[in-house]
Every structure is written in structure tokens, then in C-alpha cells.
Chains A and B, each alone.
Chain A
Amino acid sequence: MTLRLQPVRLASGNDDSEAQLVFAGNALVAVLTHLAEHHDGEAGRWFMEAWFGPGYVLNRPTFASLDKAQDWILERLAEV
């Protein structure tokens, strides 16, 4: 399975406005937000803002890159 990314802007009202919609086929599985400067140790990482894939993700992870985020998502989808 391959994932497709689509950049979007979030009307978040804060500095975290750059995001990516992540599609598996035609289905939206996740929204990843690029963390802005004020996140100190996590600035520049990608935060799992929303997860629509299988199972619940209570402690939403952050990833060093979009590639790492996609690896995580693919693993998660493969578990089903």
C-alpha cells in the first residue's frame, strides 16, 4: 500500500498551521501537523493531529520526518 500526502493549511489560530492530509487510497487516515518554533524540543517535528485509521491512538506521537510518519502509519495499517 502507498500513501498519498496533500498539504493543507489549518485554521488553527496558532502557529501550527502547516499540515498534511494522509490518504490510503481514497480514505483519509491521518492529519499530520508541522510543529512551529514555540514547541522547543519538538519544533519541526510532525504531530499526529488526528488519526482515522484502525484502533485508537490515545498518546498521539510526533515524528522527525514525514517519511518516519508514513512508516508508522503503514505499519499500523498492516496490522489490521
Chain B
Amino acid sequence: MASTPTHALSPLLRKLESIATLTDEERHAVESLPVKTRMLAPRQDIVRDGDHTSQCCLILDGWACRYKLTGKGQRQIFSFHIGGDIPDLQSLLIPVMDHSLATLTSTTVALIPHADMRELTLRFPNIAAALWRDTLVDGAIFRAWIMCMGQRSAFDHIAHLFCELYLKQEAVGLASEHRCPLPFTQLDLADATGLSNVHVNRVLQEMRRNGLITLRSQTLVVEAWERLVQTSEFDAAYLHLQKRAAP
């Protein structure tokens, strides 16, 4: 049976096309990026705090996170990333890393030299705008995380994060029917929410007991989406998932 050939960079195209409409020439330019593909083991640093970088890391498949350690080795996770994300895109303009980026699962990445990325964005302002927009959405997600960290209960915080992670995956075709992969540990969740492992466990237990979610074999099933949205005051506007109207 003939299969449609999938380009290695299709996760990036899928992400860009979830944001903007690309011309054939723009698609071709993205597909022609001279990338190096790497398979990485789980829990492996991709770039470290303080590194000087000359390439961007596009996640093709798998999960990664941005994080930073305190002097005592306590980890704060800043964000989770899936296929199509370029979590260190900022390195294009700020080449010294101010945090680390690591895999959470087995992950395939494409390394894109800064020089080629820069040329792509100079030749195609539409792509530059889409990438810029992506970093702005990144900022919006950080604001939502700070809001959760500072002003929401542990329960609402985790509920909010589950809504976000589901919708982010749904937007790029990695999830549907309120069911999505969640391939990280409870400890990762604790480090991302600033909660103790014990508190995370209590919240998950309560969510299960209330029939809001099931979480099994690294799959999250939201059994009561509306209630989860309501309790955490989740408003998806900050994810800006709709395409920007063409100028």
C-alpha cells in the first residue's frame, strides 16, 4: 500500500500552519532547512544553563522541558514541550542560555543552525512573524503559569495545567476526545507547579475520586472537561490557538 511520504520537518510545518497560512515557497524553504536529526534518551540535557549555542532545537517527537536548578539542586520546570516546538528559539537572538532544556521521554530532535534559521526568517517575513508570534504565546503561557503558581489552589493549578496540555496537543493533532499523552512523572508535575509530591498526589487522588480525570499508563483522560475548565477558570484565549487573520 502506498503511503504518503512524511517530511522529517512536518511537525514544524504543522505547528507553523496551526498559526499562519504558508505559501508553497515558504513550505519548501522550511523543508529545505539543513537539519541534523538526533535521537535522545529520556532525561537527557539538550542544552544547559550558561551554554553558548549556535543552533536551535526543534522537537520532532517526544517531550522536553525547560528547567533551572537552585544552588541546592531543587528543580523548577518552566514549561513542557511537544513535537513542533522550538523551546530554545530565543537562542537565535540571545545565544547564552539562561536555563536548561532536557528531554522527559525518548525524544527525536532536529538541530537547526542559527545561520540557516536567520536566513529563513530574513527571506520570509511571514515565517519570522509566525515564529515571533510563537514566542509571544510562550510569554502568555508563562503569565498563566505565574497566575496559577501565585493565586490558584493546588487543585485548580493542576486542573488548569491539564486543560492547557490537552489543548496544546489537540491543536497540533496529537490528542483528541479529551484524551492525551502525559508521559511524565508525578515528580515532574510537582516541580512544574511548585507543589510537594505529597500535595500533587492528594490532588490527583481527589480529581480521580470526583470523576474529573483518569491518569493511567501515561495517558490523561479528562472525564469531565467542563467541570475541569470551570474549577480552574481556564480560558484558552492565552494559548491563541486560532490562526491570525491573513493581513
Which residues of chain A have a CB within 8 Å of any CB of chain B?
A: 13-16, 33, 35, 38-40, 42, 47, 58-60, 62
Enumerate chain B residues within 8 angstroms of A40, measured Cβ to Cβ.
201
Whether A60 pairs with B196 at a CB distance below 8 angstroms is: yes
Contact with B74, one of A14, A38, A39, A59 (Cβ below 8 angstroms): A59
A-B CB pair tally, cutoff 8 Å: 25
Beyond known contacts A47-B198, A58-B74: 12 more, CB 8 A cutoff: A14-B206, A15-B205, A16-B198, A33-B198, A38-B201, A38-B205, A39-B198, A39-B201, A42-B197, A47-B196, A59-B74, A62-B198
Q: Taking chain B's interface residues, is the majority helix, strand, or loop, or is none over half, making it mixed?
A: helix
Enumerate chain B residues within 8 angstroms of A15, measured Cβ to Cβ.
205
Query: For chain B residues 193-219, which have a beta carbon within 8 Å of chain A?
Result: 196-198, 201-202, 205-206
Please measure, in the bound complex, the distance between the C-alpha atom of A51 and the C-alpha atom of B197, giving whole angstroms: 17
Enumerate chain B residues within 8 angstroms of A35, measured Cβ to Cβ.
198
Whether B202 pairs with A16 at a CB distance below 8 angstroms is: yes
Whether A14 pairs with B205 at a CB distance below 8 angstroms is: yes
Enumerate chain A residues within 8 angstroms of B198, measured Cβ to Cβ.
16, 33, 35, 39, 42, 47, 60, 62
Expressed in whole angstroms, the minimum distance between the Cβ of B121 and any Cβ of chain A is 41
Asked if A14 meets B197 with Cβ closer than 8 Å, knowing A58-B74, A59-B74, the reply is no
